[in-house]
Structure 1
Amino acid sequence: MSPLDVPRREALLADSALVVVTAIWGSTFIVNELILKETPPLLFLALRYGVAAGILVFFARGRPRTPGLVKDSAIIGLLLAVGIGCQLVGQLFTTASKAAFITGLSVPLTPVAGWLFYRQKPSGSNLAGLILAAGGFGLMSWPTGATGLDPGDLLVFLTALVYAVVFVEMGVASPKHDVRAYSAGQIVFAFAGVLVGRLLLTPFLGRTEPFFAAEARPLEFTPKLLLAILWMGLVASVVTTLVQTWAQARMPAVHAAVIFALEPVFTALFAAVTLGERLSAREAWGGGLVLFGIVVSELRLRR
């Protein structure tokens, strides 16, 4: 079914569903912020991916194993492990609201990644959006009078770079594979990547730097942690994937991208209510430029 042929009521339902998905994604920054105060970041991430992997593998039983499935799943899964790992560590040093806006840079960065890896020429609107978003990132992240970027913001920016590559690779590989098998493979490799990364860090957990100190905390399965794992592993990973797949088949890609741009807005609202976070005037202007850059990047200018 073409997005142009979707009945009005169904199109409205798809819009609403994708807004809910975007709000759920926005909430994940808040969950991370709350959990990171008492839980080892990488162990929490491993538990999240473990739950999601178990559910997705169950639903992928009997699905066809196409040529290149393992390789393509490994590429995306390991990139996801690096990306979300950088985001979690970055949130130890920055706020949930700023992390969400900076992660949104992945949208205008995606055409650049497409050009670097596959020589897909970016459009003028892509480049204009990237310049606007980069200016917004600078406003949000470069402290007044400082000589360098905030380390937490820089780590989250690395997440945006990784996600841009993920979007490009998924666009190339997704048509080759069964959706359920490919999704399950990605998360299985992400789970494995996080576990290996955590094991490699074990000898350094006695250090006093904030990240190592946070990762050395004892893991306590409190009701709060279990609820967070279920929310992140089941709702924010599995349910959103299924709903997103259904909804995006009923709307143009540009339309979906504009809805996705609401993610940092939801995060900022949730952070204000639950964490008491407030963006400064400068950070708010920067966030607005990032949002504007995201939307401009996805426009298709007509002659």
Structure 2
Amino acid sequence: MSKYIGEIGLFLTAIIWGSGFVVTSISLDYYSAYQNMAIRFLIGGMVLGLVFFKKIRSITKETIMKGTVLGFILYLAFALQTVGLQYTTPSKNAFLTAVNVVVVPLIGWAIYKKRMDTFEVTGAILALAGIAFLSLQGAGGINAGDVLSFLCAIAFAFHIIYTSLFVKKEDPIHLTVIQMMAASMLGFIVLLFRGEATVPITDSAIFSLVYLGVFATAAAFLLQTVAQQFISETKAAIILSTESFWGMVLSAAILGEIITLKMAIGAAFILLAIFISETKPAFIKTASVREKV
């Protein structure tokens, strides 16, 4: 039962992040990318802090350290993605960021000697292929933006891995609150150095800020952290990769974007990836039982 709780939580996270594509585009009409990051993390941290005020009073120093590590990695990943987008195309940025879906099992194997599940790795590769169909619009040489986008994928992969590692011993709510506040503090420090510390508040931008802070940050990252107690990092990365699929669906529904055959093929690959990562282990288990009988 806990497995399904984890999967549902991550699917909800992916849906929320998919909707974030639309809302972020609205927010960027009023704020710079760096202001956007700092504000959304601040709102997210404040909301969680207020909701779980009594609970977070028992936070330990170890939890603060681990949450700060997650917050630093999270902000780094967002910053690399943002800067990378300035030097490469949005489609390549989206695709290279999503490479984390195959980086996660590789890091787990290389650093932590964790055995790679064949079918989860196959699912990860298929998910990446699906994202390529959804995102890539053309070829072109490798540039600085591509490198930064790939580094962003590695950062997101480490975020998923360390979330799974830390949540085994720490309270997920404590971890989420601390990482939001740590990312926000780092965000405002960056704004000071960039001379963007003055953040104008306009009525037109309030909705996008509130949505990004409350739902795409506080709710989504809390769901992710809680869900990763019950599911492997690789499977978590595969499910979270459906963010691009939900982004496509919601863009079509809200913005009227036309779904092309190429996009439909990409969506099919992602759904196949989830099917394989979910059902193949069950098939193997069944086969093993039959052999023993």
TM-score (norm 2): 0.74
Cα displacement (A) at 1:182: 1.7
Q: 1:82 aligns with which of 69, 76, 79?
A: 76
Residue 45 of structure 1 aligns to which amino acid in structure 2?
A: M
Partner of 1:124: 118
Q: Does structure 1 residue 163 correspond to structure 2 residue 156?
A: yes
Q: CA separation in 1, counterparts of 2:272 and 2:117?
A: 16
Partner of 1:174: 167
Q: 1:41 aligns with which of 29, 33, 57?
A: 33
Q: CA separation in 1, counterparts of 2:268 and 2:143?
A: 19
Residue 205 of structure 2 aligns to which amino acid in structure 1?
A: L
Q: CA separation in 1, counterparts of 2:41 and 2:231?
A: 30
Q: 2:49 aligns with which of 54, 57, 61?
A: 57
Give yes or no for contact 2:98–2:128 (8 Å, CA) kept in 1: no
Q: Does structure 1 residue 189 correspond to structure 2 residue 182?
A: yes
Between 1:234-243 and 1:278-287, the stretch displaced more is: 278-287
State the aligned residue count.
Answer: 278
Partner of 2:250: 270
Q: CA separation in 2, counterparts of 1:245 and 1:166?
A: 10
Q: CA separation in 1, counterparts of 2:144 and 2:273?
A: 21
Between 1:178-187 and 1:39-48, the stretch displaced more is: 178-187
% identity of equivalent residues? 24
Partner of 1:222: 202
Q: CA separation in 2, counterparts of 1:137 and 1:246?
A: 25
Q: Secondary structure at the match of 1:270?
A: helix
Q: CA separation in 1, counterparts of 2:276 and 2:267?
A: 14
Residue 171 of structure 1 aligns to which amino acid in structure 2?
A: S
Q: CA separation in 1, counterparts of 2:18 and 2:125?
A: 24
**Larger helix proportion, structure 1 or 2?**
2
RMSD, matched Cα: 3.9
In structure 1, stretches of 5+ residues that fail to align are 203-215
Partner of 1:237: 217
Q: CA separation in 2, counterparts of 1:218 and 1:47?
A: 11
Q: Deviations over 1:119-141 (max 9, x none)?
A: 21212224333443454566643
Partner of 2:65: 71
Which aligned pairs between 1:198-209 and structure 2 lie closer than 5 A? 198-202=191-195
Q: Deviations over 1:236-291 (max 9, x none)?
A: 22234555677788x86698777645432220122234445456655654565455
Q: 2:142 aligns with which of 136, 144, 148?
A: 148
Residues 268, 90 of structure 1: alpha-carbon distance in 2 compared, 3 angstrom cutoff: farther
TM-score (norm 1): 0.72
Q: CA separation in 2, counterparts of 1:279 and 1:156?
A: 25
Q: Does structure 1 residue 114 correspond to structure 2 residue 108?
A: yes
Give yes or no for contact 2:70–2:163 (8 Å, CA) kept in 1: yes
Cα displacement (A) at 1:49: 0.9
Give yes or no for contact 1:40–1:219 (8 Å, CA) kept in 2: no
In structure 2, stretches of 5+ residues that fail to align are 289-293
Which aligned pairs between 1:276-295 and structure 2 lie closer than 5 A? 276-278=256-258, 281-282=261-262, 285-286=265-266, 288-289=268-269, 292-293=272-273
Residue 184 of structure 2 aligns to which amino acid in structure 1?
A: F
